[in-house]
Each structure stands twice: as structure tokens, then as C-alpha cells.
Amino acid sequence: MDLPVRYDQGTSLVFGGSETQTPFDEAWAVVLPVPYEETTSYVTGTRNGPREILAASSQVELWDEETSTEVLVAGVHTLPEMNLPAGDGGTAIEEIRRVVGELARHDKFLAFLGGEHSITAPIVDALAQRTSGLSVLQIDAHADLRDQYQGSAYSHACAMRRVLERVPCTQVAIRSLSREEAEALPSLRARIFYDVNMRRDPAWMERVLEGLTDRVYLTIDCDGFDPSVMPAVGTPEPGGLSWREMLHLLRRLFSTRQVVGCDIVELCPIPGLVAPNFTCARLLAKILTYRFVGGT
């Protein structure tokens, strides 16, 4: 494949550590770091997220105690991170779309590490071209439904508006949106589960799943977590999912739907604080495990 790559200090990090790397042709899952950051509007640093997640993943135990499996040695391949052009959002977005389209031809589970949330729209666009009836499950503090933000239609604040131009979306743990977004909602193919309302509905997970199609793409913005779990984000919002709530929802998702790919975005690493990086690495390990065993 003609993939743009970049190596820092002559090396390329591998999810789970170098001993877990499976040749691409033999792998059932592929991890692609996408360190794109052009439209960050508060705390910067999401471009460092993929590298810090990969570095932390070498400390994740390969054995999963919940499912009694060792998925990370069962066929996962990590590609070198993409080297995207700076200063031209449209060109970078098109390059992401092109690369994902190439990867999608190989019928593997695709996991992307961002970078800002803007990467999700071109990923979904490429996958939707090969996956009929696709829907998106978004876990996030922010609706990201602006049509434009700070003069850009490619802003992280517009990520799901661009997704909805292609496929429907169910949004979970939302607790921040603008008047513009709220007024646009009736005309959009979006189902929002506000964080405040979820806490009043013991069946909210069932209702989330009911709104999804059989084939799903999963996008997780790190600020979908409660900040006590995930402080290393660009725009933290009080509230959000606990670690156990996240895993419960994901396991139900993978046991009832065909999840074709996922991304984890908007980690903004804090120097000297490794817990958030490790949490993201552990989260991807759980996602790969649930996908491998079917969530059961």
C-alpha cells in the first residue's frame, strides 16, 4: 500500500509492544495513528496523542481478565503514523479519506488513534463507500454539530455535522452544544443522549443500541469520559461516563452489532501524567478484545 509514513528517531511504535506485531497480510485488525491537529480551539497537543497511547500500550498486560483471551498476540498490526500536510485542512482530510479507502479494501477491523476529532468524517466517508447501512456511535462531551467554526468546515467542532452528511449518528454523554447546534438538530439524522437525561433513565444503554443499524462505526472522544477518569483533554466538561459505564456499553455494542472500525481521539497528553495515556491504551485493548470475542 502507498501509505504516507513518518518515523521519529528512526523507530515506529507498535500497539502492545513490538512482540505483538503481526504482518499486515496476516492481521485481522489494523491500528493507524493519525496525529492531525489543525483546528484545536482551547488546549493544544492532540497531535501527541497517538504516540503517547502507543508508548503506554507497551505496559498493558496482554492477557484480558474479563474474557480470558490474549487478543493482542492474535493478529494486530500497527502501521506507522500518517504524515499529514500542515496548514491545509482540506488536503489533510482528503489524504485521510484516501488512505482509509485503501485500507478498507482489505476487510480488516480498523482502529484509528487521533489527533483531533476532525479525522472521523473522512474515515466514515471512506468506510461508508464500502459498507452499506452504516451508522455511527459517538461518545463525546460535545455535539460537534456546527456547520462551520472559526471559518472552517473541517473544524473539530464540525466533525459530526460532516459525518451526518453521510450516515446517521447516535451521540452519547453529550453535555455541551451551542444554540446553533440545538436549532439545527430537528433537521439532522442525529439522536442525542444528553448526559443529564441518561442519569434518569436506567435503560439508556438499551435505547442507544436500539437506534443503531447492524453495521456501526465507533468514535470515542476522550472527553466523553468523566474528567476524573480522563483529565487530559483539550476541552474538559464535568460529567460523562465512568470507566465501567464505558466498558459495559462497548461490550453490549460488540455483542449486538458488527462494528467495522473505531477511533479514539482528542487525547491531549499532560507531561508527567501517564494515567490518561494508559487509559486510552487500555481502552483500545478492550475494544480489540470485544471485537475479537464478539462482546459475549
Do 268 and 234 touch, CB atoms closer than 8 A?
yes
- Could you report the per-residue pLDDT of 227-267, keeping only the tens digit for each? 999 999 989 999 999 999 999 999 999 999 999 999 999 99
Q: Which residue has the cell 509492544?
A: 17
Q: Which residue has the higher pLDDT, 149 or 37?
A: 37
What amino acid occupies position 102? Answer: E
Residue 296: is its pLDDT beyond 70? Answer: no
Whether residue 99 is predicted with pLDDT greater than 70 in this model: the reply is yes
Residue 91 CB-half CA count within 13 A: 6
User: By mean pLDDT, which of 17-21, 229-233, 255-259, 282-286 is the weakest?
Assistant: 17-21
Q: How many helices (H) and strands (E) does the chain have?
A: 9, 8
pLDDT the model gives residue 3: 47
Examine the pLDDT at 165 and tell me if it is beyond 80.
yes
- Using CA atoms, how far residue 100 sits from 76, 80, 257, 261, 287, in Å, is 17, 14, 21, 11, 19
Question: What is the pLDDT at residue 27?
Answer: 96
Q: What is the mean pLDDT of the chain?
A: 91
pLDDT score at 90: 82
Going along the chain from its start, the domains and CATH numbers come out as 22-293 (3.40.800.10)
Taking the C-alpha atoms of residue 29 and residue 108, their distance in angstroms, rounded to an integer, is: 5
Residues 208-232 have a mean pLDDT of 97
Backbone φ and ψ for 148, nearest 5 degrees, come out as -145, 155
User: What pLDDT sits at residue 147?
Assistant: 86
Lookup: cell for 54: 502507543
The three-point CA angle 266-270-276 to 5° equals: 65
> Does the model's pTM come out above 0.85?
yes
Question: Residue 158: pLDDT above 80?
Answer: yes
Q: Work out the number of other CB atoms within 10 angstroms of the CB of residue 208.
A: 20
Q: What is the pLDDT of residue 88?
A: 61
Per residue in 39-97, pLDDT tens? 676 677 899 999 999 999 999 999 999 999 998 888 999 999 998 877 666 888 999 99
CA-nearest of 141, 101, 93 to 3 is: 101
* Residue 6 predicted with pLDDT over 60: no
pLDDT at 7: 38
Residue 25 pLDDT more than 60? Answer: yes
- Asked if 115 and 81 count as a contact pair (C-beta separation under 8 A), the reply is no
Q: How many residues does the chain have?
A: 296
Q: What does the pLDDT look like over 100-120, one tens digit per residue? A: 999 999 999 999 999 899 999
pLDDT band at 10 (very low <50, low <70, confident <90, very high): very low
In 3D space, the residue among 252, 136, 244, 243 whose CA is nearest the CA of residue 203 turns out to be 252
Assigned C-alpha cell, 62: 496482554
